Amino acid sequence: MKITQYALILVALCCFSCRDVVNLERPEDYSNAGASTVAVTWSSVFESYWTGMNNNYLFWNIDPTDWDGVYNSYKPKFAALDVTKNVDFLTAYRYFQNITKDLVDGHYTLTISDLYGNTKYLDPSVARYYQKHGLNLYEYFDSGGNTSLLEKSPSFIHSDWWVERFSTPELRSAVESRFTGNGGEYHAAAIGDRNDYGINSSNFAMATGSLPVSGGRILYFQFTGFNYYDITYCYAVRKDLYMKIDAANTAGKSDGELLTDPDLDPEWRLALEIRDVMRKTLQFFDDLKKPDVKGVVIDLRGNGGGAILDLSFIWGRMINQELTFAYTRSKLGDNRLDYTPWLPYKVFPAPDGVALMVPIVALVNIQSASCSETSAMIAAALPNGYVVGGTTYGAQGGIADNRKYNGGQFTAPLLKLVYTPSLQVKYLDGKIYEGEGFPPDIPVEFDYDALQAGTDTRLEAAINCVLEHQ
C-alpha cells in the first residue's frame, strides 16, 4: 500500500517537474529561469506568461477559462515555434488571441513583441464587443486603424460606443444646445490639441452646464477621464508662470480670449488650458453649495476612468461623511484563489464637501469604464442617487502595483506588459460585475437618429429623473 502511495507521489512530482521553473522573486517581472543567460524561446515566453497569469490574475473565481487546459494545449504549440521567424511571431499572436478571448477582466490587455522590435496588442474585451457587431478588432489593428473596415457594420457606426462620446460633434452640440437653448449656461474647456475627429483620447476635456427649472437649476458636469490628480498637480506647480502671464496681460483678457491667439507660446497655452479647466471645475464645485440647486447630473459617457484618488476629489464634494459603496480585495498568495478578506471600498468627503439632499444622477453608457463604473456604484449607493443610461463596460478592478498587492500587471520576455488589475471589486449587493458591466437604475436605449436630429435622449432621461425625484 505504501509503495503504491510513494509511486503516485513520484509520478505527481515528475508531472509537475515537466513545467519549467520560473523565477518568482520579482512578481512584476516573470522571467523564465535562466532566460538571462540562454536564448529566449516561445516556449519559455509561454511558460513565464502562464505562470504569471496563474499567480497574479485576480478573476479566476469568476473566469470561464480552463487555465490548466490552456497549458496542456498550448505548451507544445509554442514549443514548435521559432522565435527568429516573423511568421511564427504572427502565429504566437494568434495563439494569444485564442488564449485570452474569454478572459472576463475588462481592463485586460497584452502587449507582445518579437526579437526585432515588432509589437502586437491584444484587448480581449474590446475584441468581443467588435465581434458582436460582426467586426474583427485585430484586423482593424493590423490595418493601421482603417475606419472603412468599421463602416461595414452600420450597427457599430450607429452605436453609443462609436457616437456617444465627448469627442463627437453630435453629442457636444446636443448637450450644449439643451442648456443654452433653455436660458441656461454651458462652459467647456480642454487640455491638448484637437484633430478632425474631436479630442484625442490622450487629452482631457470637460464641460459644465446649468439648466433653469422650477425653483432653481440643475447642474451638469462632464469630463473625459479621471485625470484631476495630475491636473491639480500641474496647476499647482505653475504658480510662478501664472503670475508672469497675468503681469503680461495688460489688456485684462480672459484665459479663453488669450487662448485664441494662434501665436501664443506653447508653454503658456498649456498653462492656460490647465487653468481654464481648473477654474471651470472649481466653479462647478462652488455651485454645488448654492441653495438653488435642484439636482446634479454627472455625465460619464465615454469616460474610460483614471486615477482612483479622483473619486473622492469629485464625489467628495457631494457628501460630508465617508461612504462605503462597494468592497475590494487583492491576492494573498500565488494560488489562483488565494484572496484577502473583502474590505470596504470608500469615498471620503472633501474639506468643503456638502451633503446634497437633491437627486444626483450618474449618466453612463457602454464606454463608461473603470472609475466611471465605480462612480455609478457610488451614485447607486447614495440615498438620493440614480444611475441612468446604458450598462457600463465591465472593468471595475483597481489598477495598482503588483509588488504591493501580490497580483496584477506583470512583464516577461517578449511580453512588454500584461495589464490586469490588482484589486477585485464587489458591489453592495454582493455581486461582482466584472466583465458584464454595472446596470442602470433607469435603462435608456441609445437613440442614434434622435441624436443626429439634435436630441440627446439619455440626457433628457437624466434631467427627467432629477425632476421626478425632487
Q: What is the pLDDT of residues 327-375, one digit of tens each?
A: 999 999 889 999 999 999 999 999 999 999 999 999 999 999 999 999 9
Residues 226 and 102 in one domain: no
Whether residues 187 and 315 share a domain: the answer is: yes
What is the band of 29 on the pLDDT scale with cuts at 50, 70, 90?
low
Same domain membership, residue 387 and residue 259: yes
Please say if the pLDDT value at position 24 is more than 80.
no
Residues 410 and 30: beta-carbon distance below 8 Å: yes
**Looking at the predicted structure, is the pLDDT value of residue 15 above 70?**
no
Q: Mean of the per-residue pLDDT values for the chain?
A: 90
The residue among 365, 418, 374, 417 whose CA lies nearest residue 395 is 374
User: How many folded domains does the chain comprise?
Assistant: 2
At 231-267, the pLDDT tens digits run: 999 999 999 999 999 999 999 999 989 999 999 998 9
% of the chain beyond a pLDDT of 90: 83
Beta bridge partners of 386: 361
List CB contacts of 316: < 8 A, sequence separation 6 or more.
347, 348, 349, 350, 353
Q: Is the pLDDT of residue 198 over 80?
A: no
Q: Is 340 domain-assigned?
A: no
- Position 404 pLDDT exceeds 90: no
Q: Give the three-state DSSP class for 110.
A: strand
Asked whether residue 2 is domain-assigned, the answer is no
Cα within 13 Å of Cα(6), Cβ side: 3
- At position 79, the amino acid (one-letter code) is A
Tell me, yes or no, whether 233 and 288 share the same domain.
yes
pLDDT of residue 445: 98
Contact 301, 392 (CB under 8 A): no
Q: For residues 25 and 36, what is the distance between their CA atoms, to the nearest angstrom?
A: 14
Please give the pLDDT value at position 39.
Answer: 79
Neighbours of 214 (CB within 10 A): 8
Over residues 157-172, mean pLDDT: 95
First to last CA, the chain: 76
Residue 76 shares a structural domain with residue 122: yes
Asked, for residue 3, whether it belongs to a domain, the answer is no
Bridging pattern class, strands 204-213 and 216-223: antiparallel
Instruction: Dump pLDDT digits (tens) for 310-337.
Output: 999 999 999 999 999 999 999 998 899 9
Amino acid at the residue 299: D
Write down the pLDDT at residue 355.
94
Q: Which residue, 337, 360, 338, 364, is CA-closest to 347?
A: 360
Q: Are residues 134 and 199 in the same domain?
A: no
Q: What is the CATH number of the domain that holds 373?
A: 3.90.226
Structure confidence at residue 26 as a pLDDT band (50, 70, 90)? low
Domain interval for residue 118: 22-157
This prediction has a pTM of 0.90
Q: Do 78 and 136 fall into the same domain?
A: yes
Q: What is the DSSP letter of 5?
A: H
Q: What is the per-residue pLDDT across 32-81, written as a single tens digit (0 to 9) for each?
A: 544 444 579 999 999 999 999 999 999 999 999 999 999 999 999 999 99
Residues 203, 241: one domain?
Answer: yes
Residue at 300: amino acid letter: L
- Confirm whether 280 is domain-assigned: yes
* Domain co-membership, 138 together with 96: yes
- Render pLDDT for 297-310 as a digit per residue (tens, 0 to 9): 999 999 999 999 99
Please check whether residue 86 lies inside any domain of the structure. Answer: yes
